Structure 1
């Protein structure tokens, strides 16, 4: 009884802390970047836009409203979406090391997006990265190409893992890593035969960046992440039943095969849209669900997982744009550096 009360207290405390951070993060993170904005300038901007009092600098208004707010929101959506995908993958495959990056889904999506980039660059003859967000044909084709690549990656991993998913955790992980390397090699091959300048720009994009975030570009990631979250919550009981085993879930009336494939494809859709929007960002789907389980043993609240993932990636992006003077680190490099250490920690913990 005491343990139940303690777990509930932990849960409510975590909710309060995460919601508080969610409220203050957009305000404070908007002040960091190549041009630091003071606290008083941010306050004046809020007073001017929300309360119609005072005045705001046009330069500060442009930097915050047009550049940094879309970037913050895209980073939050990317972190939330990748955390949701990682949590669902770990549940439906009963693999604690499942992650869109380690499963090869991110690499497959990146390969599909790189192929679309190369095709448009060859056929349409326009600057790839300067105009792709504004061209309607590219806006539709890039997520579609990424989704096809991500889905193909899932199918390959499932085919290599065999039918006994519940006993193939290590094989599934190794299949995902091998698939990831395969699609990474194919992407490098496509870039090798591309224009050198475009290849360098696409390579930076594949490492993950929110530098090209815009209000228009936020629509598709927001719709997909929120729609996927609502879908997953609607099937939460069936998904949680898979944790007890395929036979137990089947006796409870769950169509195990259809549900698993549907959730894998949904995770592929989330990953593909995010890769098309901001490139490949790894290990977020591994770290955040495990962090929630460490903080809240016995619980796996999907909403808190999404919010914590979003907050994490917002502040990683702040580090990416502030770590070096007059230049920006790719976000994927930072998450991979943190995630690789976290991955070793999880492996050691499992062995213990």
Structure 2
């Protein structure tokens, strides 16, 4: 009963923190707006005002996209860490994100399309190619399957990154600047018209993963124990890879490359709550979304009249976090 209460309290705190973050983040930006302006824009009918247009048409879809991106990447990272039993697993480690980025760069470099549903389709195609190669290389092995998948994922990640760099080298210089900024991660392209796609994909994939939480808990015990408990390990691992690939592909197409979120957030949540329960999975999702919203606020406000790439900030924070984690663990030994 005590554990249940602790989980409920943690879930309630993260829900309140997420709501506070979504509301407060709307007041940050180049234009000077207060929390009162945000409240009036959301809850009162002031459609013609300048602040309302900024908050509702520009900042709100961007903030929601940032929350969805952080939530989706955190869940994808947690699921990959669970099914591979590797604490360093995330979409980047398995080459899923690199494959999605390559698909988008090919579309932008050769076709010239830089927006719309086509980007999501190209990212999905690239991530599915990466996942298919990963399964072909290591998926049929019964012994050492996880280790083979990790090694193959790292190799595929470098391979796709090399192809992406080669395409950028041969592309038009004006297109290279836009593609490079996109690959570093940004939520500047957020629009109400395209926000439905990541919302639907992330919500459906998250609820699907939540429905398999018992199988996920069994996977933490090892493949042999999971098989004894009735889990079809090979099929289940492929299913989780597909869902993680789908989330990553949509987010890469919308936001570009954003690293370390799926790697870092599950570790942070693991310090406070068990992630094997329903509330633990939901807390991980909410913490990821809250973290990403504040990263986006930092990217928009850190420099005057300039916007930093979100991926640069997450990489810097993630690197410091894991160096600190390794240092303190070494001192405890």
**Structure 1 length as normaliser, TM-score?**
0.86
Task: Give the counterpart of 1:214 among 191, 208, 215.
Answer: 191
1:44 to partner: Cα distance: 2.8
Choose the corresponding residue for 1:30, options 23, 26, 31.
26
Match of 1:77 in 2: 68
Contact 1:94 1:166 in 2 (8 A): no
Q: What is the SS of the residue equivalent to 2:220?
A: helix
Asked if the contact 2:47/2:53 (under 8 Å) is kept, the reply is no
Shift of 1:207: 0.7
- Pick aligned residue for 1:259 from 236, 244, 253: 236
- For the pair 1:96 / 2:59, whether they are aligned, the reply is no
Question: Once the 2 structures are TM-superposed, how far is the Cα of residue 158 of structure 1 from its aligned partner?
Answer: 4.7
Q: Deviations over 1:78-113 (max 9, x none)?
A: 111101100110111111110112222111110111
Describe how 1:116-127 pairs up with structure 2 within 5 A: 116-121=107-112
1-structure distance, mates of 2:275, 2:104: 38
Greater displacement, 314-323 / 190-199: 190-199
Determine the structure 2 residue equivalent to 1:52: none
Question: Does the aligned pair in 1 maintain the 2:186–2:311 contact within 8 Å?
Answer: yes
Paired with 1:151 and 1:345, the residues of 2 have a C-alpha distance of 34
CA distance in 2, matches of 1:177, 1:346: 22
Equivalent residue, structure 1, for 2:317: 338
1:311 counterpart = 2:307: no
Aligned partner of residue 295 in structure 1, secondary structure: coil
SS in 2 for 1:244: coil
1:85 and 1:264 map into 2 onto residues whose CA distance is 9
Task: Tell whether the 8 Å contact from 2:11 to 2:282 is kept in structure 1 after alignment.
Answer: no
Aligned pairs (5 A) from 1:218-257? 218-257=195-234
Taking a change above 3 Å as real, the CA distance of residues 46 and 221 of structure 1, as seen in their structure-2 partners, is: closer
Separation in 1, partners of 2:255, 2:275: 33
For structure 1, the 5+ residue unaligned runs are 50-54, 122-127, 134-138
Task: Tell me how large the CA RMSD over aligned residues is.
Answer: 2.2
Whole-Å separation in 1 of the counterparts to 2:39 and 2:101 = 40
Residue 235 of structure 1 and its aligned partner are, at CA, apart by 1.7
Instruction: Write out per-residue CA displacement over residues 166-185 of structure 1, whole angstroms, 9 at most, x where no aligned residue.
Output: 6754x644443332222112
| 8 Å contact from structure 1 (residues 101, 281) kept in 2 | no
The CA deviation string for residues 152-171 of structure 1, in whole angstroms up to 9 with x for no partner, is 323444555573576754x6
Residue 113 (structure 1) aligned to one of 87, 104, 121: 104
In structure 2, which of residues 257, 275, 299 is the aligned counterpart of residue 320 of structure 1? 299
Instruction: Measure, in 2, the Cα distance between the counterparts of 1:165 and 1:341.
Output: 35
The 1-side partners of 2:153 and 2:322 are apart by 15
- Which residue number in structure 2 is paired with residue 143 of structure 1? 120
Contact residue 275 and residue 284 of structure 2 kept, 8 A: no
Aligned to 1:63: 54
**TM-score (ref. length: structure 2):** 0.91
Counterparts of 1:223 and 1:172, CA distance in 2: 29
Residue 36 of structure 1: how far off its partner (Å): 2.7
SS of the equivalent of 1:30 reads helix
Count matched residues. 328
Which residue does 1:39 correspond to in 2?
35
